[in-house]
């Protein structure tokens, strides 16, 4: 296992794919505060009362980007073991299948963490001088970063499972990226459905010079019962809960989110290893 | 060229991926009106959900085209085509025409199923004229997507890399369109509540984020140049610049095809 990891790290730090994805994260991290600063200057010039743009809106988007780029990275990095035939060499050299699987999982998780850190370093380096410090209190920020890193590790576990079980690198890439998109858009959809108000409150408006009062009415689109429980369960899945992390920024994400991510890591790795044990590597 | 096209169409007919994708498009087309009917009964017009395919087609093509055409590189058939005397121009154009044909089939499958399920459940379209205009524009937009993806696919020798590039490019274009749309969508005035002599008074305040006419034209052009930007306008039922949108789609198609061809002519196919 130690040899596999050491060989893996050597390959990881020579991987063009890692540096390209890291560069993309760092460039977006650096550009975001610059765009915010330009917007702030434009609003101030237009005489807006509240022209300040906070660094927070630029800082907290990193798990979303990391998830998508990690899906591409994992597929290409792990997929190269199949296309290059090195996965058979590892087994022939006497390494067990679980060790091969776990070493790839650890490498993908570390790559995910590096992508997040690349963004954080760039956004802070450029954003702090331009937009000032974060408005979110430090404990909440650290909790957010912790939840985001655990979620990234859970996504790495899912992508590793797909990459280790599919021999075609292109199909792996398409499946991983599609899964990342699916989870993200599902999260946006679920957030919209779960935050629907149960009742539309009473409202008053002026019509033809008269004040009209519209009574409170129930919202037909409000999700209830079993459907709500299912939606809530899906909303807690890693990838989906990136939206939840952003929505609960002011009060801190519920502790069940990192626990859900942990459960996904254990379950997907268990299932992945069991299937990989039986896989015909040809 | 005719031989190349006929070979491509033959391969397409035999492709499981093609039939599975077409089936998924048709299923999505049937599901959309059914789900709308189950949730809102007949209170939702068919027009409002008709153009969901315009949002999806880019994503579907970003998956299908690299897998389908990428195998020409991985299996080496692209070299065979050139070795049998076909010029690079013909190989590129034959693939592009096949890609456009595929896009039309996918859109057609979706539309037919939407109409077959939607018309009995939700009623016919409320405004068939504008719907038809948007339909033609959306097909031009799909052709523009094909040209963009063909540029990427024909210039990357690795199937996996071209698949990753196409899918990430789709997301980048999607993000750009949403950003431009949000800027354009800012209201000119917004209500502001103020306390005057102990009473709350509502006053309409000019929004500094509202774009001035000159800037607005630039942003509108950016939105129309972007296939997702056009798709957002179709789904909103807010197509106010049909000629500009058509010209933008054709412009994107022409520029990306010319750039793709120029790069492919110089490419070392090894």
Residue B99: what pLDDT? 94
A223 interfaces chain B, CB cutoff of 8 Å: no
DSSP E strands in A156-282: the ranges are 199-200, 203-207, 210-214, 217-218
Question: Best mutation site among B167, B188, B215 for testing chain A: the one with the most A CBs within 10 Å?
Answer: B167
In this complex, the residue of A48, A174, A220 whose CB is nearest that of residue B208 is: A48
Measured distance CA(B144)–CA(B253) in Å, rounded: 5
CA distance A181 to chain B (A): 9
Question: Best mutation site among A173, A192, A222, A227 for testing chain B: the one with the most B CBs within 10 Å?
Answer: A173
Measured distance CA(A264)–CA(A268) in Å, rounded: 6
Average pLDDT, chain A: 87
Which chain B residue shows the shortest CA-CA distance from A79?
Answer: B160
List the domain range (segments joined by +) for residue B124.
2-188+208-266
Would residue B202 count as lying in a domain?
no
Contacts of B159 in chain A (CB under 8 A): 169-170
Would residue B115 count as lying in a domain?
yes
Would residue B161 count as lying in a domain?
yes
Q: Which residues, including other chains, have CB under 8 Å from residue A19's CB and lie 6 or more apart? A: none
Q: In this complex, do B209 and A48 lie within 8 Å of one another by their Cβ atoms?
A: yes
Question: Best mutation site among A170, A178, A180, A224 for testing chain B: the one with the most B CBs within 10 Å?
Answer: A170
Contacts of A170 in chain B (CB under 8 A): 66-67, 70, 74, 159-160, 163
Q: Is residue A49 very low, low, confident or very high in pLDDT (cuts 50, 70, 90)?
A: low
A181 interfaces chain B, CB cutoff of 8 Å: yes
Would residue B193 count as lying in a domain?
no
Which chain B residue shows the shortest CA-CA distance from A176?
Answer: B164
CA distance A169 to chain B (A): 6
More confident of the two residues B269 and A26? A26
Q: Which residues, including other chains, have CB under 8 Å from residue B177's CB and lie 6 or more apart? A: B223, B226, B227, B228, B229, B231, B232
B191 interfaces chain A, CB cutoff of 8 Å: no
Number of domains making up chain B: 1
Q: Is residue A81 very low, low, confident or very high in pLDDT (cuts 50, 70, 90)?
A: confident
Residue carrying the six token digits 């330009």? A38
Which chain A residue shows the shortest CA-CA distance from B64?
Answer: A174
Measured distance CA(A108)–CA(A79) in Å, rounded: 12
Residues A224-271: tens digit of each pLDDT:
888 889 998 888 888 788 888 888 877 878 888 889 999 999 999 999
Closest C-alpha to A171, from A79, A275, A66:
A79
Closest C-alpha to B45, from B194, B179, B235:
B235
Which chain B residue shows the shortest CA-CA distance from A182?
Answer: B59
Does A120 score more than 70 pLDDT?
A: yes
A271 interfaces chain B, CB cutoff of 8 Å: no
Q: Is residue A123 very low, low, confident or very high in pLDDT (cuts 50, 70, 90)?
A: very high
Would residue B194 count as lying in a domain?
no
Which chain A residue shows the shortest CA-CA distance from B69?
Answer: A170
Q: In this complex, do A170 and B208 lie within 8 Å of one another by their Cβ atoms?
A: no
C-alpha radius of gyration, chain B, whole number = 22
Is residue A244 within 8 Å of A187, Cβ to Cβ?
yes
In this complex, the residue of A170, A178, A221 whose CB is nearest that of residue B160 is: A170
Contacts of B161 in chain A (CB under 8 A): 76
Supply the DSSP symbol for A202: P
Would residue B144 count as lying in a domain?
yes
Q: Is the ipTM of this complex over 0.85?
A: no
Q: Is residue A209 very low, low, confident or very high in pLDDT (cuts 50, 70, 90)?
A: low
Q: In this complex, do A75 and B74 lie within 8 Å of one another by their Cβ atoms?
A: no
B residues 156-185 near A, CB within 8 Å?
159-161, 163-164, 167-168, 171
CA A205 to chain centre: 42
Q: What is the DSSP string of chain B?
A: -HHHHHHHHHHHHH-HHHHHHHHHHHHHHHHHHHHHHHHHGGGS-HHHHHTHHHHHHHHHHHHHHHHHHHHHHHSSHHHHHHHTT--HHHHHHHHHHHHHHHHHHHHHHHHHHHHHHHHHHH-S-S-HHHHHHHHHHHHHHHHHHHHHHHHHHHH-S-HHHHHHHHHHHHHHHHHHHHHHHHHHT--SEEEEEEEETTEEEEEEEE-TTSPPHHHHHHHHHHHHHSHHHHHHHHHHT----HHHHHHHHHHHHHHHHHHHHHHHHH----
Is residue B58 within 8 Å of B145, Cβ to Cβ?
yes
A vs B, Cβ pairs < 8 A, gives 52
Residue A162: what pLDDT? 93
Residues A141-158: tens digit of each pLDDT:
899 899 999 999 999 999
Contacts of B40 in chain A (CB under 8 A): 220
In this prediction the pTM is 0.84
Q: In this complex, do B167 and A47 lie within 8 Å of one another by their Cβ atoms?
A: no
Q: What is the pLDDT along chain B (270 residues), one digit of tens a residue?
A: 888 899 889 999 999 999 999 999 999 999 988 988 887 777 778 888 888 899 999 999 999 999 999 888 878 788 888 888 889 899 999 999 999 999 999 999 999 999 999 888 888 788 888 889 999 999 999 999 999 999 999 998 888 889 999 999 999 999 899 989 988 888 877 777 677 766 666 777 777 777 788 888 899 999 999 999 999 999 888 888 889 999 999 999 999 999 999 999 888 877
- Residue B206, classed as helix, strand or coil, is strand
Residue B248: what pLDDT? 94
């Amino acid at each position: 296992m130690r040899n596999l990891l050491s060989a893996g790290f050597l390959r990881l730090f020579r991987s063009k794919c890692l540096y390209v994805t890291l560069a993309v994260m760092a460039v977006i991290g650096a550009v975001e505060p610059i765009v915010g600063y330009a917007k702030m200057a434009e609003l101030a010039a237009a005489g807006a009362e509240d022209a300040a743009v906070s660094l927070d809106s630029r800082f907290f988007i990193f798990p979303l980007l990391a998830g998508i780029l990690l899906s591409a990275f994992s597929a290409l990095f792990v997929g190269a073991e199949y296309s290059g035939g090195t996965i058979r060499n590892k087994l022939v050299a006497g390494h067990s299948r679980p060790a091969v699987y776990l070493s790839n999982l650890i490498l993908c998780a570390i790559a995910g963490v590096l992508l997040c850190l690349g963004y954080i370093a760039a956004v802070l380096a450029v954003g702090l001088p331009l937009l000032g410090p974060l408005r979110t209190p430090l404990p909440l920020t650290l909790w957010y970063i912790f939840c985001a890193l655990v979620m990234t590790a859970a996504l790495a576990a899912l992508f590793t499972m797909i990459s280790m079980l599919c021999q075609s690198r292109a199909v792996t890439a398409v499946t991983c990226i599609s899964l990342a998109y699916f989870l993200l858009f599902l999260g946006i959809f679920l957030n919209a459905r779960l935050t629907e108000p149960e009742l539309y409150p009473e409202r008053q408006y002026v019509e033809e010079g008269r004040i009209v009062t519209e009574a409170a009415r129930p919202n037909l689109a409000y999700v209830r019962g079993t459907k709500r429980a299912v939606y809530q369960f899906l909303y807690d899945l890693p990838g989906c809960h990136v939206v939840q992390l952003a929505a609960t920024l002011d009060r801190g994400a519920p502790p069940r989110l990192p626990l859900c991510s942990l459960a996904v890591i254990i379950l997907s790795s268990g299932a992945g290893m069991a299937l990989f044990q039986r896989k015909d590597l040809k | 060229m005719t031989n190349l096209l006929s070979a491509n169409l033959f391969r397409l007919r035999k492709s499981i991926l093609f039939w599975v994708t077409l089936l998924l498009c048709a299923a999505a087309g049937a599901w959309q009106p059914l789900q709308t009917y189950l949730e809102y009964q007949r209170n939702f017009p068919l027009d409002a959900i008709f153009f969901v395919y315009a949002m999806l087609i880019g994503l579907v093509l970003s998956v299908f085209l690299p897998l389908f055409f990428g195998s020409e590189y991985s299996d080496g058939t692209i070299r065979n085509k050139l070795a049998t005397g076909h010029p690079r121009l013909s190989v590129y154009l034959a693939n592009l025409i096949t890609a456009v044909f595929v896009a039309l089939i996918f859109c057609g499958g979706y539309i037919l199923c939407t109409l077959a399920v939607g018309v009995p459940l939700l009623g016919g379209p409320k405004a068939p004229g504008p719907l038809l205009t948007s339909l033609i524009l959306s097909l031009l937009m799909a052709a523009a997507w094909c040209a963009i993806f063909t540029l990427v696919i024909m210039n990357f020798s690795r199937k996996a890399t071209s698949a990753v590039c196409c899918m990430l490019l789709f997301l980048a274009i999607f993000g750009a369109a949403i950003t431009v749309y949000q800027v354009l969508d800012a209201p000119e005035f917004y209500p502001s509540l103020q306390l005057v002599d102990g009473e709350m008074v509502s006053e309409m305040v000019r929004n500094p984020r509202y774009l001035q006419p000159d800037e607005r034209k630039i942003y509108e052009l950016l939105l129309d140049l972007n296939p997702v930007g056009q798709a957002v306008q179709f789904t909103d039922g807010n197509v106010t610049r049909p000629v500009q949108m058509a010209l933008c789609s054709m412009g994107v198609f022409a520029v990306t095809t010319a750039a793709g061809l120029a790069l492919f002519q110089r490419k070392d196919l090894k």
